[in-house]
Amino acid sequence: MQSRIAPFILTIGVLMNFAGSTSLETFQGDEEYLRFDYSGAETLYLNQLSIDLSKSGAYWRLSRLFISIADVSPAKDREGFYRTAERYARKCIMTNVENADGHTWLAASLGNIAMYEGGETKVQLSREIHRELLRALELNPNDDVAYSILGSFYRALGGISWIERQLANLLLGGVPDGGYPEAETALKKAITLAPQVMRHQYEIGMLYRDWDRIDEAKEVLRKAASLSPSVKSDSTRIQEIQRFFEEEDQ
């Protein structure tokens, strides 16, 4: 059972890294982040906190930033960056519990941290991730990032068999309900809200691949590959898309 529960969380972690925000508030550092100048963005976000610690928007931006840094860092350094991202997301929520982006990026950071935990902790974190995403969407129903992560979450759940789910319920307290249909609904909502974000299109393409809806996967992945990257890690998605088409052509 753990052999499938562990990949479930691994899938979430690997696919959670991307830029995005429905916040209308702008901060010094946002332009640097979008230019992939992660060091410059960190300096400016921290400068804002040095002036006003109540700036909850700076905390979740730092959480997003450290996830982005981790995704392009050597494997040995990633866990520390993910845990820093978690701390900043929790500070955001402590500063303003109704900041939807704080809940979204806490879910994203926990999905990555779960890759380094044991089976029981992974399942516990899966429930917290789900709660945080639902809370984010309760606070902001137009949060495309939360919908996209929720879609990844349900996509991962779709790979767990009925027997494995029952064992998880019996031995580990259970994993949340959901699967491929719920993943499709969430990802379609993310695309409706932000059609130019590569990550959303990529994720639904991978969902269709897993679901054996290959023609739909090809159509969506071609669209994803045509979009401009919004984070450095989008280059990895482009490579995965190329690998998908190479395998389909064989």
Q: Are 183 and 191 in contact (CB under 8 A)?
A: no
State yes or no: pLDDT of 117 exceeds 80. Answer: yes
CA distance 203 to 208: 9
- For position 21, what pLDDT does the model report? 53
- For position 159, what pLDDT does the model report? 62
- For position 5, what pLDDT does the model report? 45
State yes or no: pLDDT of 76 exceeds 80. Answer: yes
Summarize the confidence of residues 66-72 as an average pLDDT: 94
Altogether, the residues listed in the chain come to a count of 250
pLDDT tens digits along 153-187: 998 888 665 445 544 454 445 556 678 999 999 99
Q: Are 168 and 123 in contact (CB under 8 A)?
A: yes
Domains and CATH numbers, the chain: 2-249 (1.25.40.10)
State yes or no: pLDDT of 249 exceeds 60. Answer: yes
Q: Are 12 and 183 in contact (CB under 8 A)?
A: no
Asked which of 58-72, 77-91, 160-174, 228-242 is least confident by mean pLDDT, the reply is: 160-174
Beta strands in 49-145 (DSSP E): none
Question: Which two tokens mark 167?
Answer: 């064992």
- Distance from the first to the final alpha carbon of the chain: 33
Q: Which residues have a Cβ under 8 Å from the Cβ of 90 and sit 6 or more positions away? A: 102, 106
Q: Are 95 and 56 in contact (CB under 8 A)?
A: yes
- For position 210, what pLDDT does the model report? 92
Q: What is the CA radius of gyration of the chain?
A: 17
| pTM of the full structure | 0.86
Nearest to 98 by CA among 146, 57, 44: 57
Q: Give the number of other Cβ atoms within 10 Å of residue 68's Cβ.
A: 23
pLDDT tens digits along 13-51: 544 545 555 556 778 999 999 999 999 999 999 998 998
Q: Are 119 and 155 in contact (CB under 8 A)?
A: no
